[in-house]
């Protein structure tokens, strides 16, 4: 089956001098393109997920690269048969990800490439592996050995951090963390370091980038995504189904949006 649409995921923490002007500039170019998705812009940077027809993808990528601070911003790209969003939305936000805490983004956790992440998982040494996503995302797919924090929103990870300090030695125990595309880990790793955790590592580019580079190695289930697809494999490699239907208990790795 043909896959004429490209699905972009990108973020960048970089100072934006006139965020409202950037919102207007993005709206202007996207109004002329076959694109749908969500882009949030603030004084602290950009966060976007969108689908765009392959014939126009390079036009928008060139526009992104023309913006101050975005020349080398990584853009993770998958292909799909159709649009994966209903409409195009570009908005200003005070925070591109809401932790409701100010952190020093110059002191984030060390980035591990997908290859380094896979190698660290294979060593089975003492560490803790945190999935910095919501609980319902973890249930449909996660890395082997990852911990499910009792958090339904990103804001709740602040309480989880204090609980974790009582369970492990924050100065010695390595902390590995992952999320869908990497943006939550940027913020949360900096937050943890400010609170005394010394050995903090984050998966560069998130689970999406890992699947593109390492396939399904060490991964179980599917990846939850915030678009019309709901769940997708992280690679072309088969991964075991780890979740079940909430009604009948049959093995299942699909979510359905009951609002539709």
Tens digits of per-residue pLDDT, 74-93?
999 999 999 999 999 999 99
In whole angstroms, give the CA distance from residue 8 to residue 225. Answer: 12
CATH 3.30.70.100 correct for 5-92: yes
Average the pLDDT over 25-32 and give the result: 98
Average the pLDDT over 118-141 and give the result: 93
Residues 167-221: pLDDT tens digits?
999 999 999 999 999 999 999 999 999 999 999 999 999 999 999 999 999 999 9
Cβ contacts of residue 4 below 8 Å, gap of 6+? 53, 54, 55, 79, 81
DSSP states of 128-173: EEEE-S-HHHHHHEEETT-B--S-SSGGGHHHHHHHHHTTS-TTTS
Residue 256 has pLDDT above 60, yes or no: no
Residue 244 has pLDDT above 80, yes or no: no
Annotated catalytic residue within 151, 179, 245, 248: 179
Say which CATH architecture domain 110-232 belongs to: 3-Layer(aba) Sandwich (3.40)
Do the domains 110-232 and 5-92 match in fold? no
Is 185 considered catalytic here? no
Report how far apart, in Å, the C-alpha atoms of 21 and of each of 67, 90, 139 are. Answer: 12, 12, 39
pTM > 0.85: yes or no? yes
Q: Provide the residue ranges of all domains of the chain, joining segments of one domain with +.
A: 5-92, 110-232
Q: Environment class of residue 43 by beta-carbon count within 10 Å: exposed (0-12), middle (13-18) or buried (19+)?
A: middle
Q: Return the closest-CA partner of residue 242 out of 145, 130, 140, 150.
A: 140
Determine the pLDDT at residue 215: 95
Residues 154-170: pLDDT tens digits?
888 889 999 999 999 99
């Amino acid at each position: 089956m043909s896959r004429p649409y490209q699905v972009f995921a990108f973020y960048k923490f970089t100072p934006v001098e006139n965020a409202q002007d950037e919102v207007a500039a993005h709206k202007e170019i996207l109004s002329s393109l076959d694109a749908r998705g969500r882009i949030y812009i603030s004084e602290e940077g950009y966060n976007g997920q969108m689908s765009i027809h392959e014939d126009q993808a390079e036009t928008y990528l060139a526009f992104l690269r023309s913006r101050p601070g975005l020349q080398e911003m990584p853009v993770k790209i998958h292909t799909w048969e159709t649009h994966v969003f209903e409409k195009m939305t570009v908005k200003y936000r005070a925070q591109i990800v809401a932790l409701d805490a100010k952190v020093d983004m110059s002191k984030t956790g060390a980035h591990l490439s997908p290859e380094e992440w896979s190698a660290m998982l294979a060593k089975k040494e003492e560490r803790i592996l945190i999935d910095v996503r919501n609980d319902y995302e973890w249930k449909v797919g996660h890395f082997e050995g990852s911990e499910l924090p009792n958090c339904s929103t990103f804001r709740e990870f602040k309480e989880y951090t204090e609980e974790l300090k009582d369970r492990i030695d924050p100065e010695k125990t390595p902390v590995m963390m992952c999320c869908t595309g990497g943006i939550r880990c940027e913020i949360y790793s900096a937050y943890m370091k400010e609170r005394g955790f010394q050995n903090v590592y984050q998966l560069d580019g998130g689970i999406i980038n890992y699947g593109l580079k390492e396939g399904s190695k060490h991964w179980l289930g599917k990846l939850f995504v915030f678009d019309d697809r709901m769940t997708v494999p992280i690679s072309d490699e088969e991964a075991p189904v780890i979740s079940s239907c909430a009604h009948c208990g049959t093995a299942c790795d699909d979510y359905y949006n009951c609002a539709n």
